[in-house]
Amino acid sequence: MDSTRGVGLVLAAVAAGLWAVVVVAVLMTGPEDGVNIGAALLALLALPLSVGATITLIVSRRDADRRGVSDSHPRARRIAVVLGIASVACLGGSMVTGQLESTGTAAVALVLLTAGIATFVASSVLFALPLPRQG
């Protein structure tokens, strides 16, 4: 495994772990418990980690293509790139929509955030598929 891909996978694992904590905290507690504020702070940390991991993994894929590294899962990698781009768009859109002060935008922001998290995790899993052994 090259170092760029390794860094991307580590970032993705940390971000996925943070997203898991955020989701569990929001689902398992009431709004009066104050956990949602802590979950929101963790989400603010998980978001740039997710974007960074996605960009790093996409760049590592392009680097591997340039070096001529064969891939036993080329279709899965292409799907991972598309899902990664969709993830960044959804996560960014949820942040922008969440800043708008309108009643309907909170639901839209939640849908975008959920879609962003799901596509990020799916993309990361596809990028984590093993590469063939070299030589």
DSSP 6-75: HHHHHHHHHHHHHHHHHHHHHHHS-GGGSHHHHHHHHHHHHHHHHHHHHHHHHHHHHHHHHHT---S-HH
Domain ranges for the chain:
3-127
Summarised one tens digit per residue, pLDDT across range 33-52 is 666 788 888 999 999 999 99
| pLDDT above 60 (res 135) | no
Is it the case that residue 16 has pLDDT exceeding 90? Answer: yes
**More confident site: 117 or 66:** 117
Residues whose CB falls within 8 Å of the CB of residue 86, separated by 6 or more in sequence, listed in order: 115, 119
CA angle, corner 31, sides to 86 and 101, nearest 5?
A: 55
Distance CA 26, CA 19 (A): 11
Residue range 54-80, pLDDT digits in tens: 999 999 887 766 776 666 677 888 899
In the predicted model, is pLDDT for residue 83 greater than 70?
Answer: yes
pLDDT cut 90: percent of the chain above it: 50
Cβ neighbours of 116 (radius 10 Å): 24
**pLDDT value at 99 more than 90:** no
Write out the DSSP string of 69-124.
---S-HHHHHHHHHHHHHHHHHHHHHHHHHHS--HHHHHHHHHHHHHHHHHHHHHH
CA dist list (Å): 117 to 14, 34, 65, 89, 110? 13, 22, 27, 11, 11
